[in-house]
Amino acid sequence: MPFRLSKSRDEDQKTKMSMSEIKLKVELSFQDLEGTAADSLRYKIRGAREVKELWMLRTDMHQLVSRALSQQEAAKRINALLPCFEQWIPARSLVKI
């Protein structure tokens, strides 16, 4: 087997999630929450035109989930979304909160 300086084969074969898949996953991460703030966030997610917009909406999601449940739960849900943004957002930005 030749020596490789590049990423592992698994990393090479990862497929980039589509914008619609990311939107769905982000929305599903707070599907148990209702109210004006949750509806507003859903509206923003559905209207996003770039993945960067969805990435920035994590702040709104953190605030929503923190207020409704807890900061720990908000961090858990946001961290679970990190794989969605792989290959869209620079790796150095994909850090857990």
Q: Model confidence at 27, in pLDDT bands (50, 70, 90)?
A: very high
Token pair, residue 67, equals: 């207020």
pLDDT at 30: 98
Q: Model confidence at 11, in pLDDT bands (50, 70, 90)?
A: low
Per DSSP, 91 falls in state G
- The contacts of residue 38 (CB under 8 Å, 6+ apart) are 30, 64
* pTM for this model (two decimals): 0.81
More confident residue, 14 or 62: 62
- The contacts of residue 81 (CB under 8 Å, 6+ apart) are 25, 26, 29, 58
The arithmetic mean of pLDDT across residues 38-59, rounded, is 98
Kindly tell me the number of DSSP H helices and DSSP E strands found in the chain.
Answer: 7, 0
